[in-house]
Structure 1
Amino acid sequence: MTDDQVDEFYRRLSAAMPAPETELAYVNAYTLLVAVVLSAQATDVGVNKATRALFETVTTPAQMIALGEDGLKAHIRTIGLFNTKARNVIALSEMLLRDFGGEVPRERAVLETLPGVGRKTANVVVNVVFGEETCAVDTHVFRVANRTGLAPGKNVLVVEEGIMARTPKPYRRHAHHWLILHGRYVCIARRPRCYACPVEDLCGFDQKVMIMPG
């Protein structure tokens, strides 16, 4: 994509979704952090089902520690890798309480020191909670960036850096969500909905699907 095409790409996505938001359900910064940790290799829908009852009574690190690992597992058993995730959530809750007064730190590098928190999770938290201009690259963002030619790269860090470098300033705050939602609902993996894509003419993908199935 040329710079002008990138600008038009975001202009159209922003026109369709002026205020995009995460599809993960959360109550506060802490519950968002927990939800994002749980969402690794899982769907937002699946995580939301598992945390609906959990977040009715557990909204702080202290409450999570009181619930305990076995209690947490009972809530998240339907989520993949729930044993490891439960262990990490309890451990990060203990660290938050011990080292940060129970508050979620706003620095990405500090967040990455928490158990189970990698760069992607930290990027989501600082973007959604603290309004930082970051882009968490999941499978959807990675696919859209490479398919369209927005920011091609062979690994997530290269793609992340490319997206942040090429995204015009007015769009950086929400670029993460526009790209995720576009990849989740339009630029899907197996049969992309190019026939319904608002940016199809800007996209460099050479295997476009222009006929609606059925």
Structure 2
Amino acid sequence: MQNLKIRAKNIKRELDKLFPNPTTSLIYKTPFQLLIATILSAQCTDALVNKVTEPLFKKYKTPKDLANANINELTKDIHSVTFYKNKAKMIQKTSKIIHEQYKDKVPKEKNLLIKLPGVGSKTANVVLGHAFGITSGFVVDTHIKRVAKRLGLTKHTDPAKIERELMQIVPEKDWITFADQLLWLGRKYCTARKDKCIEHGLKLTHYSK
């Protein structure tokens, strides 16, 4: 465990140079918008989600608007994203709960967030970390899952186990930033198709391919 902590610290030092001010690429103005965007981003690129949410958030400005939307029309509004039919139902149900139970305010407690339709640990961590600055866990998406394994920070493949391990070896104060850095590393250099770290001169020792 101590070796992994040292490894994580060294990797973080290099990523601080590469991505000094990382953040989510999802475009949002309110915690509620980030919540909806993150639900839509499951197995979908942030770039595509941003194209969908720009007109979506202009049309549906509040949780009440989405809660009362015609489901067929809402489905058409987000048809570009993956699993759009299920996601339309989830964001409408979540919007209804936010409106009726939380008076249009996104809860700041992870245990409440993960009870919402379409919200798991990753989505809750993203919303709490970026909308409220609350450290609730370590975000693990497909990029972070791949990169963490390549960098030797974990041998697990299950996101929940990866999150628990990263939370043990990375200081809590770095969870939000480090997750964002790993995500951007996965998008720009350590991609699924090709690992470009070495050719870009990145001083990151890969554990496995």
Q: Do they superpose with TM above 0.5?
A: yes
Cα distance change of structure 1 residues 180 and 97 upon mapping to structure 2, 3 Å threshold? same
Q: Distance in 1 between matches of 2:201 and 2:166?
A: 20
Q: Distance in 2 between matches of 1:114 and 1:185?
A: 32
Q: Distance in 2 between matches of 1:102 and 1:123?
A: 19
Structure 2 residue 163 is matched with structure 1 residue 172: no
Give the letter aligned to residue 39 of structure 1: S
Structure 2 residue 185 is matched with structure 1 residue 182: yes
Structure 2 residue 104 is matched with structure 1 residue 73: no
Q: Distance in 1 between matches of 2:129 and 2:115?
A: 17
Identity among equivalent positions (%) equals 32
Give yes or no for contact 1:151–1:166 (8 Å, CA) kept in 2: no
Give yes or no for contact 1:37–1:121 (8 Å, CA) kept in 2: yes
- Any residues of structure 2 matched to 1:7-156 within 5 Å, and which? 7-133=9-135, 134-156=137-159
5+ residue gaps in structure 1?
A: 208-214
Give yes or no for contact 1:13–1:198 (8 Å, CA) kept in 2: no
5+ residue gaps in structure 2?
A: none
Question: CA offsets per residue over residues 148-192 of structure 1, 9 Å max, x none?
Answer: 111331311111011111113442231111111111111111211
1:69 Cα offset (Å): 1.9
Give yes or no for contact 2:145–2:159 (8 Å, CA) kept in 1: yes
Q: Identify the residue that residue 164 of structure 2 maps to in structure 1.
A: 161
SS at match of 1:172: helix
Give yes or no for contact 1:92–1:115 (8 Å, CA) kept in 2: yes
Question: CA offsets per residue over residues 119-168 of structure 1, 9 Å max, x none?
Answer: 21111111111212221211111111111111331311111011111113
Q: Distance in 2 between matches of 1:59 and 1:162?
A: 38
TM-score, normalising length from structure 2?
Answer: 0.91
Give yes or no for contact 2:98–2:106 (8 Å, CA) kept in 1: yes
- Of 191, 198, 202, which residue of structure 2 is paired with 1:198? 202
Worse overlay, 65-74 or 178-187: 65-74
Give yes or no for contact 1:37–1:85 (8 Å, CA) kept in 2: yes
Cα distance change of structure 1 residues 170 and 117 upon mapping to structure 2, 3 Å threshold? closer
CA RMSD for the aligned pairs?
Answer: 1.7
1:88 Cα offset (Å): 0.8
SS at match of 1:177: helix
SS at match of 2:105: coil
Give the letter aligned to residue 191 of structure 1: K
Give the letter aligned to residue 95 of structure 2: S
Paired positions, count: 205
